[in-house]
């Protein structure tokens, strides 16, 4: 090669390195109406490696997985009983969407940057514990989780006490504003869904629209996203830190928007500069001595791996890998190691150009996707006591769950009924009837009331029945371990967070 040509190539390479990562977007189609699909090998990925990722999901309680490269879906899995077309709650990945809306509001002139003090947006309120530190708190501090507000919501399995206090309060925004300051704004990272709730309230004020309406108009509909749901606080303000429900394919669209530098079908939906800010996050999260996680504008960054994520509890993740043109959307019910998941994704990326077709690997991937989409039938025999408890109603002692009684029906069409109090302190009760999958498969309930439940049970001992109840879209799993002894029953209730309560009761028949 001629020396001048070498110098030109070196110059181009250096220029590309110096470009903001957000500018290094990938070519590809626009999945506004629907996603295009391709085999992994057509997009330079390995089907066998993606099969290993699907298996990792099965071992780590994923609900869904969508892998795209260059704007095409190359792998997609739904783990029973979660199914295609279902929405899934995003938990704190909602924060990444609220931050995206903040960038859009700035682009439209509805929010004058992020340096404005937060209290100026709430001048009509009386706020407690106001001092110079609270007066200095800005929108950017909210976005970066450096507000300085006293808040306990650790990114571990420890109890998020302040978050629970906010949820119990009659006015969430006021609760957050009234928190005392623990440190000066900008001092250090401290995770807080309260920060995001203030962002949501600010967006509603500045745009003159409810946040879900603004999101639908300016973000979701242009991307072809519909059917979303968004939880609201007692004042009707969309929850900024959690509460958004989307289909997994639509989560992937949001990641693809960031991969394309905020552009969609020739229109700059999100400012490119805003996407670049996410890619250049600087706030140390200090969650691990061995992993350099950074935070910025409500997104997580692993700089060494060039990985950018909107992350929610139990691994609701929108993952963007600009250097390889990969976007992955994941939902689930367990906090597994993110590094391990990233390793598997990276191992699947083999080339920037198509690979040779690999029928054996393609078959393996298809088999693994099919396997996780269904549950195995079990032919477990019922113990001798089953007929004696079937149809009996068991009245429980007073308990925090508000469950008054239950009845099991263990005949040809197994089901159960739970009678509980409508509210704490109320004497009014409601009865819920659900099918009971004793075949090893979850049985769906009638969702006419808007609540999609599935349940199944198994005999885990000669006198013990374990009932598992799930709300797939809520990523909630509750277990009841029922141990029978004569007319008595001992019930262990285990919620989605692993907390246990012990209840007792006896038959009233």
Could you report the per-residue pLDDT of 287-306, keeping only the tens digit for each? Answer: 887 789 999 999 999 999 99
pLDDT of 325 > 50? The answer is: yes
Q: What is the per-residue pLDDT for 143? A: 98
Phi, psi of 128 (to 5 degrees): -80, 160
Q: What is the DSSP string of 53-93?
A: HHHHHHHTTEEEEEEEETTEEEEEEE-TT--TT-EEE-GGG
The answer to whether 275 touches 299, Cβ cutoff 8 Å, is no
Whole-Å CA distances, 193 to 59, 88, 110, 145: 29, 19, 23, 9
pLDDT at 113: 94
- Percent of the chain at pLDDT > 90 equals 82
Rounded average pLDDT over 332-339: 94
Q: What average pLDDT score do residues 184-199 get?
A: 98
As a whole number of angstroms, the distance between CA 419 and CA 432 comes to: 7
Q: Is the pLDDT assigned to residue 134 strictly greater than 60?
A: yes
Q: Is the pLDDT of residue 316 over 50?
A: yes
The predicted structure's pLDDT at residue 371: 97
Contact between residue 83 and residue 64 where contact means Cβ atoms under 8 Å apart:
no
CB 388 within 8 A of CB 497: no
Residue of higher predicted confidence among 432 and 163: 163
> Confidence class of residue 27 from pLDDT cuts 50, 70 and 90?
low
| Exposure string for 21-55, b = 16+ CB within 10 A, e = fewer | bbebbbebebbeeebeebbbbebbbbbbbbbbbbe
Cβ-contact 270, 103 below 8 angstroms: yes
The pLDDT of residue 188 is above 90: yes
* Angle in degrees, 0-180, between the axes of helices 272-279 and 94-107, rounded to the nearest 10: 140
Of 26-35, 143-152, 330-339, 393-402, the range with the lowest mean pLDDT is 26-35
How much is the CA Rg of the chain, to the nearest whole Å? Answer: 25
Enter the DSSP assignment of 227.
S
Beta carbons of 201 and 173 less than 8 angstroms apart: yes
Question: What pLDDT does residue 446 have?
Answer: 66
Phi/psi for 396 (5° steps) reads -100, 150
Percentage with pLDDT > 70 across the chain: 93
Confidence tier at 184 by pLDDT (50, 70, 90): very high
Q: What is the mean pLDDT of the chain?
A: 92
pLDDT tops 70 at residue 166? yes
Backbone phi and psi for residue 286, each to the nearest 5 degrees, phi listed first = 55, 40
* DSSP type of residue 413: S
* pLDDT band (50, 70, 90) for residue 20: very low
Helix, strand or coil, per DSSP, at residue 191:
coil
Mean pLDDT to the nearest integer, 369-373: 98
CA 213 to chain centre: 21
Across the range 203-218, mean pLDDT stands at 98
Q: How far apart are CA 101 and CA 90, in angstroms?
A: 16
């Amino acid at each position: 090669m001629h020396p001048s040509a070498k110098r030109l190539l070196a110059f181009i390479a250096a220029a590309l390195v110096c470009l903001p990562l957000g500018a290094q977007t990938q070519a590809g189609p626009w999945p506004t109406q629907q996603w295009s699909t391709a085999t992994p090998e057509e997009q330079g990925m390995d089907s066998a490696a993606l099969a290993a990722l699907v298996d990792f999901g099965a071992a780590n309680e994923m609900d869904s997985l969508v892998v795209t490269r260059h704007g095409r879906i190359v792998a997609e899995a739904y783990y029973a009983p979660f199914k295609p077309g279902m929405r899934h709650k995003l938990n704190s990945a909602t924060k990444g969407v609220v931050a995206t809306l903040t960038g859009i509001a700035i682009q439209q002139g509805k929010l004058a940057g992020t340096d404005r003090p937060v209290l100026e947006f709430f001048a009509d309120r009386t706020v407690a514990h106001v001092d110079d530190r609270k007066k200095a708190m800005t929108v950017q501090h909210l976005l970066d989780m450096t507000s300085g507000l006293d808040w306990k919501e650790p990114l571990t399995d420890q109890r998020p006490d302040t978050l629970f206090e906010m949820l119990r309060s009659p006015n969430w925004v006021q609760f957050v504003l009234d928190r005392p300051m623990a440190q000066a704004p900008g001092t250090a990272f401290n995770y807080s869904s309260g920060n995001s709730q203030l962002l949501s309230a600010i967006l509603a004020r500045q745009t003159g629209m409810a946040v879900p309406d603004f999101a639908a108009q300016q973000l979701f509909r242009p991307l072809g996203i519909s059917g979303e749901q968004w939880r609201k606080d007692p004042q009707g303000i969309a929850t900024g830190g959690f509460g958004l429900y989307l289909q997994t394919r639509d989560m992937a669209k949001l990641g693809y928007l960031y991969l394309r530098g905020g552009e969609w079908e020739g229109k700059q939906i999100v400012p490119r500069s805003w996407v670049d800010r996410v890619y250049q996050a600087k706030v140390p999260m200090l969650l691990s001595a061995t992993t350099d996680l950074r935070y910025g504008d409500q997104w997580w960054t692993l700089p060494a791996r060039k990985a950018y994520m909107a992350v929610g509890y139990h691994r609701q993740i929108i993952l963007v890998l600009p250097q390889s043109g990969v976007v992955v959307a994941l939902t689930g019910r367990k906090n597994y190691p993110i590094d391990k998941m990233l390793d598997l994704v990276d191992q699947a990326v083999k080339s920037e150009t198509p690979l040779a077709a690999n029928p054996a690997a393609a078959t393996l991937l298809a088999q693994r996707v099919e396997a996780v989409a269904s549950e195995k039938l079990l032919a477990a025999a019922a113990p001798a006591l089953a007929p004696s408890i079937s149809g009996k109603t068991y009245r429980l002692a007073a308990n925090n769950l508000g469950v008054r009684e239950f009845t099991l029906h263990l005949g040809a069409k197994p089901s159960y009924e739970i009678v509980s109090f409508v509210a704490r302190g109320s004497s009014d009760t409601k009865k819920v009837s659900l099918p009971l999958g004793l075949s090893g498969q979850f049985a769906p309930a009638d969702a006419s009331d808007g609540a999609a439940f599935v349940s199944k049970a198994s005999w885990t001992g000669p006198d013990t029945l374990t009932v598992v109840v799930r709300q797939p879209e809520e990523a909630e799993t509750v277990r009841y371990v029922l141990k029978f002894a004569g007319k008595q029953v001992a019930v262990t209730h285990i919620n989605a967070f692993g907390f246990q309560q012990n209840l007792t009761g006896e038959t009233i028949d």
